[in-house]
Amino acid sequence: MMDKLWYKTPARRWREALPLGNGFMGLMVFGGKRRETLCFNEGTLWSGYPKDYNSEKSAKALGRARELIFQGKNSEADALCEQEMCGDYSEAFMPLGNVYLRLHGVPSRGYKRELALEKGLCTVQTAGVRREVFCSNPDRVAVYHITADKPFSLTVTADSKLHFSCGSEDGALVLTGTAPDYAAPNYLRTKRHPIRYDANKGMAFCLRTEVETDGAVSCKRGKLNVRRAKTVTLLFAAATGFLGFDKMPDTSRENAAAACKAHLADIPRDYKTLLARHTADFGALYTGARVSLGAENTYSTGELLAAVRKGENAADFTALCELFYNFGKYLTISASRKGGQAMNLQGVWNESVRPPWSSNYTVNINTEMNYWGASRAGLLECVEPLLQLVYETVQNGKKTAQVNYGCRGFACNHNVDLWRKTPPVQRDPSYMFAPLCGVWLANEVYAHYRNGALQEQTEKVKTIVSEAAQFAADFLVLQDGHYVTCPSPSPENVFQKDGVRCKLDYASAFDMGLVRQSFQNYRELFAGEDTELSREIAEKEPKLYPFCEGKNGICEWHTDYDTPEPGHRHFSPLYAFYPGNILGYDANPRERAWVEKLFRYRLANSGQHIGWSAAWAICLSGKLRDGKTAQKVIHDLLCHAVFRNLFCVHPPFLFQIDGNLGFVAGMHALLLQEEAGVLTLLPALPENFAASGRVTDLLVRGAKVSFSWRDGKVTAVSSDRPVTVLRRNLSDHMQIGANVTVEEPEK
């Protein structure tokens, strides 16, 4: 099994370091030979505090914007929206602090660093010295353990990119600080005073370092020293002043410091106990479901990447794919655990005070993609933070729906932050105006619930699904006998009309797919209940604007406009096909052909290598039963959009985690599809995966499904609950488990 990243040299920069996390704290380990750098994050450390960006001007302008669009004056509607229907930017996820270790009297020869994915354990080795690092969920601490054959000395210091001070207390190193009141997005390059501390309302934070050792310890003037030791265990605890998405944060550094001290006083101090508790917890999640491509490889991770980029060996490609899939699972377990925050654009790892796109929750694709593969991979506990994010967003989004759009239910636009911001941001309406992003979040929550996750949270799921469907129903307007959304974007894309680039129209395929999915989810979840909303859906659903065919496939907007960017990175017009399930492969052959045509048109004209866009293309390839295209997209992703530590790249050279996590869903899509309760196994198996492989306990609507294959044909299938499998890609001598029924395909 490909379960290990390893390297022959230390990390030279942050994007080469190895990530650890416990769902609350994130940690990047550089693994220097004699100098170590540890970069810490804490999931609740953000700039700002709760603010109300809702605007009554928006509701007043909405009717006029609709009139302009229905009159064909789209560019005027764009200008009105930009001027009257905008809000302000989200706040940003912050770096906590850095800890620096300097080891004295240790050798540098025989170097190796590795990350054992199954254990969540990073090790750094030189001759006679072993360093082990992990981030424990059971004990909510990070641990750095050093053992050596001969005595050595250690110096520990710390700093932060935020306002901070560092001192000592009772032999511990204590870093305290304050988050900014405001942090402007990184793309506002001319913004004056982009980082502000002027209101003194930013939350406090603390990172405390304590030591267990057989050496002599001294700590003063912000420096921790250990002399003549053969064993050192450093324990790190973090705390912030975050008190809730709707509460002003605690600005007291003393309170944050006291919380860290109390926490470290309450955990086991024995290293073996801490390690055993951590590995048992982490391994139980990691090994719950498995995808094995039969890969074995002796290359270091850097060498394996280089070999795949040369393209000389199919076995190298298969090995890297298996490793990359496992790494995506590992990142999910490390960054998203029950009680913690949902994964943002960078999971829980960020080095910058102005990170890419504020490292926020970008909910016009990226946040949802972070979780596409989680429940199928059996990581049910890891989905809970998404539910909580959306449930809290509903609370603020109900006010946005009412104030900004005059609707019931909840609305959420494309950027959300720790404070659950739901109104639009500023600038371009192609991304700024996106009030149905809350509907997408709700649809994503329900998809996991439908698959078997969140079963103990039914009431919250019902609230989310019903509030989303209510907003979708209220936001619709009647136009020429059809219910449509208006204004309606197709995220971040534009169209050409009368020589002008326009952003807003009505009845985009994206919006109408979201509405249809929301209505379907509500009908399923509230089946048999006679409610006002169910009656409204029954009246409006048959009159929804239909999907249409254009010259390049499914129409992106209500009619077939020309688009200046034919290879646009978003596949939003295909939402109803994937990740939605409104359009099926077998159930809707006509619309599926339109989907496939636009998909191929976009790919043929794409010039960028973007991790998350490639991951979406892999998922679509799976549902389109196209293993050849999937293999090409995967190869391009691995060759052009992956850093040395396997973090995914967003151009020009930025880390975004969605590509890593979307790849997990992409692998599932290639190996298993479910439509109307019937499974298709190996629907889009890439040629390089065909020789042999095995899937263990993938979750499909509550059933744990396992199967194996050889030479592209399924040789055995089993399930812990009754499932139906379509007779496609099955061996003539397949072993069929007791809970498996094979169904013949329709002719």
Residue 696 has pLDDT above 80, yes or no: yes
- What local confidence, expressed as pLDDT, does residue 403 receive? 98
* Cα 46 to Cα 24: distance, rounded to the nearest angstrom: 13
Residue 745 has pLDDT above 90, yes or no: no
Burial environment of residue 589 by CB neighbours within 10 A (0 to 12, 13 to 18, 19 or more): exposed
From residue 130, give the alpha-carbon distance in Å to each of 38, 93, 123, 125, 233. Answer: 16, 33, 7, 5, 12
- Enumerate domains of the chain plus CATH numbers: 4-46+93-284 (2.70.98.50), 56-87+380-604 (1.50.10.10), 296-335+608-747 (no CATH)
Name residue, tokens 């106990």.
273
- What local confidence, expressed as pLDDT, does residue 278 receive? 98
- What local confidence, expressed as pLDDT, does residue 453 receive? 98
Residue 747 has pLDDT above 80, yes or no: no
Facing residues of 357 across strands?
A: none
- What local confidence, expressed as pLDDT, does residue 617 receive? 98
- What local confidence, expressed as pLDDT, does residue 311 receive? 83
AA identity, residue 192? R
- What local confidence, expressed as pLDDT, does residue 312 receive? 73
φ/ψ of 700, rounded to 5, equals -135, 105
Which parts of 476-630 are beta strand (E)?
477-479, 482-484, 495-497, 500-502, 549-550, 553-554
Residue 607 has pLDDT above 90, yes or no: no
Average pLDDT over every residue of 226-231: 97
- Tens-digit pLDDT profile for residues 439-469: 999 999 999 999 999 999 999 999 999 999 9
DSSP 687: G
φ/ψ of 361, rounded to 5, equals -100, 100
AA identity, residue 115? L
* Cα 9 to Cα 7: distance, rounded to the nearest angstrom: 6
* Cα 108 to Cα 112: distance, rounded to the nearest angstrom: 10
* Cα 500 to Cα 74: distance, rounded to the nearest angstrom: 9
* Cα 666 to Cα 625: distance, rounded to the nearest angstrom: 12
* Cα 242 to Cα 249: distance, rounded to the nearest angstrom: 5
- What local confidence, expressed as pLDDT, does residue 1 receive? 85
**Token couple for 294:** 């039969």
What does the mean pLDDT of the chain come to? 97
Dihedral over Cα of 588, 594, 598, 599: its sign: positive
- The model's confidence at residue 407, banded by pLDDT at 50, 70 and 90, is very high
- What local confidence, expressed as pLDDT, does residue 596 receive? 98
- The model's confidence at residue 295, banded by pLDDT at 50, 70 and 90, is confident
- The model's confidence at residue 412, banded by pLDDT at 50, 70 and 90, is very high
Average pLDDT over every residue of 217-222: 91
Dihedral over Cα of 498, 500, 505, 508: its sign: positive
Residue 416 has pLDDT above 90, yes or no: yes
φ/ψ of 727, rounded to 5, equals -75, 75
Q: Is the pTM of this model over 0.75?
A: yes
Q: Which helix (H) or strand (E) holds 536?
A: helix 532-540
